Amino acid sequence: MPERRPGPGQSAAQAVRRMPNPRLTGLGGGLFCALVMLTLGLLDAASFASQTAYGVLFLPVAALTAVWVRRVDLLTAPVVVPIAFAVGLVPLVDGDGTGGQIMGMVTGLATQAGWLYGGTLIAGVIVLVRRVRMIRRRNARNRPQG
């Protein structure tokens, strides 16, 4: 009898199951996102890359934050993601003194608003889908059999 090999879908599913699946609290998700974005901002500033590269890298960080946050703290993900974007933008702005730094932040947030809104939208959609699935599972479990 020939040996059965798993199909392409089964091997991909097994690979996904082996991936890390951390569950972060709301505070942990915020710290994760802020630290990663600050690190990316520092690396971007050190490599003289553009703010657009920073914005592009923001999108997967926002998605991971929304995926990795615990079910109980789902609603914190779309809140902490834009805050983390602003934290990571600090090393990228130009300006002399406090007023110059503030104006640099305002300008940076204004010119990168598309990436900021995109990442927040991604986090919001992921959280919304997870929440709807959680409610459906709970309703199916509580539905009387018969």
Q: What CA–CA distance (Å, rounded) separates 109 from 3?
A: 58
Q: Has residue 16 got a pLDDT over 90?
A: no
Cβ(51)–Cβ(108) below 8 Å: yes
Q: What CA–CA distance (Å, rounded) separates 133 from 53?
A: 33
What average pLDDT does range 122-129 have in this prediction?
96
Cβ(68)–Cβ(19) below 8 Å: no
The dihedrals phi and psi of 5, each to the nearest 5 degrees, come to -100, 145
3-state secondary structure of 50: coil
For the chain, percent of residues with pLDDT exceeding 90: 64
What integer pLDDT is reported at residue 96 of this predicted model?
87
Cβ(78)–Cβ(127) below 8 Å: yes
Per the model's pLDDT, the better-predicted residue between 10 and 57 turns out to be 57
Global pTM reads 0.81
